[in-house]
Structure 1
């Protein structure tokens, strides 16, 4: 049985740990604070494909991850007995004007080809859209059936439960632990900063008390509205490069809330249950960092999920397990950790 050490208890680290444990490795996860202490402890959890045009490796990788997500998260839930809050509920996007409607309709054939039957992209009347009412300026919305949601905190807890059920060990509050065997560094923005390959971007979000279970997620120019299965709706988020307090919420979040209510009038008057702020790991390359650290055969990096970490987690976990345990993996070269300077 091979020993594997994972540094970091966010979604990337836990996904790698789960994939390795499921293949029989003896896994230990060391988390300096607590599971989901960083960006993975957020509240939004929108999992959506990229626009079906100008295709790139990251778009293809995310599509593959979205395709495997239903079975993968079901396996996590079965292994550990905890619900990650995953469901493929689809997505609604308002369209601003006739030009936006025409662009969206033109993307339909591309979605049909690239998504290969995984989901449907259609422009429909906003009044006929399922779920939350949408105040679309044009009266039309994009409805895709490929997008999904999960609850980030529940997903991390479910992964941790699965790792433990498979014989893995998770140590919290261990900033400088011993390391055995191959080591996967998944330490979020701190790890990127220490390595000089990225840093933090702050995000703010909130949870509203409104029961819209089963409704599609709603997205509009950086705004995400995610109905969760627990009778709440998550709203986010900001994207801040300049900030003084990583955990404070402020008027920027209130502006996001106002946009959400304007877009989805059903949310007017919904009580704010909680506000959240945290730091996302953004690599300097703007791509995830997945691979072997240059010059260190038993050191690996799984980091830089930024805003799509939960969407990529199933594929990132499995491909990194391929690399760590088998020595090779189908990971785009663009995601390889950069050589030290």
Structure 2
């Protein structure tokens, strides 16, 4: 999977400076890298798509390869001439392409904010169409049944692949972690001092969260955010705090804050059951394991009444 991502990333960077694009609808420009026989995607079709999203000057914005899961969506009527749905309508199952989309149109019509480090007129999307479920003449109920069967099969595969991904991560990073009764893996790089927190204590901690592929998606540290390309100038970067024993984040973090003393530095390898589970959300697909680096800064004991 990472090899595919690196290949497509290289294609995006190379194409950002070339002139081999075809003229698409309105101000869209595109290049089809792999063109398979088959019917083009139609409005209403259900799609499984991998993507890499970059600025015209090559700055990375997002990638489905970082999560290890494609995105699922229903093909829509374009919101404006030359948008990403217009581009997908040029493709069929198995195709891959890069689309240059006019960012001014996206700002005006969709109210999409310009990324702080974006330069140039266009945003680039490199996509790989993994699966197309054609709507054709199916009734709504039949089509939804087919889609749900597909999603159930994808979920079952995700469930099977998750322990494989975790074991591969541990092996490739030469880690021999401890494991709690809940299934949380952890590696202590600094033990810290004193007792761990007890329920009701206030724990202050620094953290960096990443997908198991290595991509950082969140951090409390400004320098780490800048280096990872996720810095948000509106956000305040500082240690987080939580009341030990009260659910605040994901179960794995809540558990870790009760386990380690002040000064401890640990890496948590987190199964999805202790994160966002089998349903996931818009940022974390189902059965997505995560990795967190955690440093417990201080523990303020609960005041007795």
Please, what TM-score do these two structures have when normalized by structure 2? 0.24
Q: Which structure has the bigger radius of gyration?
A: 2
More strand by share: 2
Please, what TM-score do these two structures have when normalized by structure 1? 0.22
More helix by share: 1
Q: Which has the higher relative contact order, 1 or 2, with Cα contacts under 8 A spaced 6 or more apart?
A: 1
